[in-house]
């Protein structure tokens, strides 16, 4: 137990508030998604690396999972497509068991790698409507590592950390812009420095199995917030030196300096606490239920601050021709989200099982009430409630010796989400965006293969 305690301290010590990925919205693996994510109590395949790390030690077998996942969005504002990009990519999971004497443990690895873009940072104009939970958040790679122990046969603990990254971009421009012929007469140089800085967030879980037909589980996933920082500097503040910049109007040189600092949150996932139970009233039937508490009220803001310092030294002869517009700094806008509790239910039925092959059929449902308030002011963090129904099936080939000392599984799932119409009524009758109705559908699916070594 002392070793286990040290492992926990290590995990928690490395964790820091940190960003979002596909799993929070669409789940991981096919079996678990088909069961609507109601698997915290008894998950044991490599998707446990997301749902409950305690599960990676559950069956003591080496399991390797690989598959593909995709989601297509049809989200609209006033029936106009919001062009929310699809998300698809590879899913990989690994459970590696071990034991020292009677002490069982396991290591796990979970990976989701989007195949279109590993990570996307996007900062939109402050008032532009954006589907806050679907537009940018899923476009992240996900990597998590876990360790789990089973001190007694009915109790398992697991924990680990997930890795994500946020971006810091530094842009410097120097030289001159010819106002009369900007394409031909300008001479500009720039330096760009971009960093993807790693962040980590914790995930811990427990599974309790008092009987063969009843399981309980709980999991905590840490908060993470991906910031996106841009620092742009044009010219030098004292208008001199190698970094100086300016405009040329004919033969007149106009020294100028611009410094822009933009800081915003590109993706956020709140603290999450899930409690689940599963029951097998008969060996062929498994029913799982779950409640997940997501602390969205801690979400500070998706709309960040912008600091602008713009200076221009207008020569007297151009005093009446060049007018510098007033530029004001902007402050973060509170998100004012609310916590939400997500109920889930998943049912799995095994209509056929033999020493050679087993077949499973699955179905699930969950409901996510929107944490976003009605967008009555100038800002538009669009969201709507979500009803998600899923179906899935799996087949396990068990008699593959001597080719494979274990079994081979194929699972697939389909998920349909309905986001019912939500009207956004603006407080101001002259709001630039105006009233609108947000609604949509999400279609997702995936296929995974899992090899299990006995």
Partner 1 sequence: MRAPCAISTALLLAACSTIGDAGGTPDGLPHGGTGEFRLLDGDELGIAGALPGRAMVLRDAIERAAPAGDFLFYATARLGEARPELPDGHPPGDIYWPAFEPRRIHRASAWEEGVGGFVAGPEVLAASEPWHGGEVYDPWPVILEDGTARLYYAAAGGVGLAEAPRVDGAFAHVAGPIVAGARRPSVIRGPDGAWWMYYEVAGTLQAARSEDGRVFDPRGRITIGGEDHGEGTEVERASPGAVRVETRAGRVLVRLYFESLRDGLVEGERAHVLYVAGSADGLAFERHPRAVLAASDARYPAPVLLDTRVTLLYASLPFFGGPYQTRAVVASVGPAGERFAPADADP
* 340 part of the interface to partner 1, by CB under 8 A: no
* 26 part of the interface to partner 1, by CB under 8 A: no
Q: Which is nearer to partner 1, 80 or 317 (CB)?
A: 80
Q: How far apart are CA 12 and CA 16, in angstroms?
A: 8
Q: Which is nearer to partner 1, 124 or 404 (CB)?
A: 124
What string marks each residue from 147 to 186 as x (binds partner 1 by CB under 8 A) or -?
Answer: ----------------------------------------
* 432 part of the interface to partner 1, by CB under 8 A: yes
| Least separation in angstroms between CB 122 and partner 1 | 8
Question: Phi-psi category of 37—alpha, beta or left, where left has phi over 0 and alpha has psi -120 to 50?
Answer: left
Rule CB under 8 A: choose which of 150, 215, 348, 431 binds partner 1.
431
3-state SS track over the chain: CHHHHHHHHHHHHHCCCCCCCHHHHHCCCCHHHHCCCCCCCCCCCCCHHHHCHHHHHCCCCEEEEEEEEEEEEEEEECCEECCCCCEEEEEEEEEEEEEECCEEEEEEEEEEEECCCCECCCCCCCCCCEECCCCCCCCECEEEEEEEEEEECCEEEEEEEEEEEEEEEEEEEEEEEECCCHHHHCEEEEEEEEEEEEEEEEEEEEEEEEECCEEEEEEEECCEEEEEEEEEEECCCCCCCCCCEEEEECCEEEEEEEEEEEEEEEEEECCEEEEEEEEEEECCEEEEEEEEEECHHHCCCCECEEEEEEEECCCHHHCCCCCCCCCCCECCECCCCCCEEEEEEEEEEEEEECCCEEEEEEEEEEEECCCCCCCCCCCCEECCCEEEEEEEEEEEECCCCCCCCEEEEEEEEEEEEEEEEEEECCCCCCCCCCCEEEEEEEEEEEEEEEEEEC
Q: Which is nearer to partner 1, 290 or 431 (CB)?
A: 431
Residues 368-427 that bind partner 1 (CB under 8 A): 423-426
Rule CB under 8 A: choose which of 9, 12, 115, 313 binds partner 1.
115
| Least separation in angstroms between CB 140 and partner 1 | 14
* 329 part of the interface to partner 1, by CB under 8 A: no
* 140 part of the interface to partner 1, by CB under 8 A: no
* 319 part of the interface to partner 1, by CB under 8 A: no
| Least separation in angstroms between CB 115 and partner 1 | 4
Rule CB under 8 A: choose which of 49, 82, 95, 390 binds partner 1.
82
Q: Which is nearer to partner 1, 3 or 122 (CB)?
A: 122
| Least separation in angstroms between CB 2 and partner 1 | 46
Rule CB under 8 A: choose which of 3, 16, 17, 78 binds partner 1.
78
At residue 89, φ and ψ (nearest 5 deg) are: 180, -175
Q: Which is nearer to partner 1, 16 or 116 (CB)?
A: 116
* 81 part of the interface to partner 1, by CB under 8 A: yes
* 67 part of the interface to partner 1, by CB under 8 A: no
Positive or negative torsion for Cα 47, 52, 57, 59: negative
Select the span of 14-22, 42-50, 129-137, 270-278 touching partner 1 (CB under 8 A): 129-137
* 434 part of the interface to partner 1, by CB under 8 A: yes
| Least separation in angstroms between CB 61 and partner 1 | 29
- Joined together, the tokens standing for residue 111 give 């990976």
* 99 part of the interface to partner 1, by CB under 8 A: no
* 85 part of the interface to partner 1, by CB under 8 A: yes
Select the span of 157-165, 181-189, 191-199, 431-439 touching partner 1 (CB under 8 A): 431-439
Rule CB under 8 A: choose which of 31, 104, 112, 120 binds partner 1.
120
Size of the residue set binding partner 1 (CB under 8 A)? 31
> Which residues contact partner 1 (rule: CB under 8 A)?
77-78, 80-85, 88, 115-117, 120, 128-130, 135, 423-426, 428-437
């Amino acid at each position: 137990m002392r070793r286990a305690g040290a492992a926990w301290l290590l995990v928690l010590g490395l964790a820091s508030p940190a960003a979002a990925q596909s799993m929070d919205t669409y789940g991981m693996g096919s079996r678990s998604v088909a069961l609507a994510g109601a698997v915290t109590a008894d998950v044991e395949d490599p998707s446990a690396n997301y749902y409950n790390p305690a599960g990676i030690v559950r069956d003591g077998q080496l399991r390797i999972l690989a598959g593909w996942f995709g989601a297509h969005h049809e989200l609209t504002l006033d029936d106009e497509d919001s062009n929310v990009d699809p998300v698809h990519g590879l899913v990989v999971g690994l459970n590696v068991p071990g034991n020292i004497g009677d002490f069982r443990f396991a290591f796990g690895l979970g990976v989701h790698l989007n195949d279109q873009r590993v990570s996307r940072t996007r900062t939109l104009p402050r008032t532009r409507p954006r589907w806050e939970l679907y537009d940018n958040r899923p476009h992240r790679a996900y990597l998590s590592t876990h360790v789990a122990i089973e001190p007694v046969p009915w109790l398992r603990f697991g924990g680990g950390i997930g890795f994500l990254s946020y971006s810091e971009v530094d842009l410097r421009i120097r030289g001159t812009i010819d106002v009369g012929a900007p394409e031909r007469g300008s001479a500009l140089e720039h330096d760009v420095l971009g960093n993807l800085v790693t962040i980590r967030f914790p995930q811990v879980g427990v599974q309790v199995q008092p009987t063969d037909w009843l399981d309980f589980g709980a999991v905590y996933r840490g908060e993470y917030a991906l910031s996106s920082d841009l620092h742009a500097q044009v010219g030098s503040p004292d208008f001199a030196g190698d970094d100086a910049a300016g405009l040329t109007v004919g033969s007149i040189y106009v020294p100028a300096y611009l410094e822009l600092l933009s800081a915003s949150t590109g993706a956020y996932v709140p603290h999450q606490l899930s409690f689940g139970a599963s029951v097998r009233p008969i060996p062929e039937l498994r029913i799982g239920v779950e409640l997940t508490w997501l602390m969205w009220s801690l979400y500070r803001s998706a709309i960040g601050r912008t600091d602008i310092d713009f200076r221009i030294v207008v020569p007297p002869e151009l005093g009446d021709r060049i007018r510098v517009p007033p530029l004001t700094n902007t402050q973060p806008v509170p998100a004012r989200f609310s916590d939400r509790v997500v109920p889930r239910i998943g049912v799995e039925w095994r209509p056929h099982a033999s020493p050679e092959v087993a077949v499973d059929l699955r179905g699930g449902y969950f409901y996510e009430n929107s944490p976003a308030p009605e967008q009555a002011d100038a800002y538009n963090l669009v969201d709507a409630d979500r009803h998600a129904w899923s179906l899935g099936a799996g087949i396990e080939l068990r008699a593959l010796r001597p080719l494979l000392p274990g079994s081979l599984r194929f699972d697939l799932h389909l998920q349909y989400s309905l986001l019912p119409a939500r009207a956004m009524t603006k407080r101001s009758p002259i709001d630039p965006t105006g009233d609108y109705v947000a609604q949509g559908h999400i279609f997702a699916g995936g296929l995974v293969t899992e090899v299990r070594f006995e």
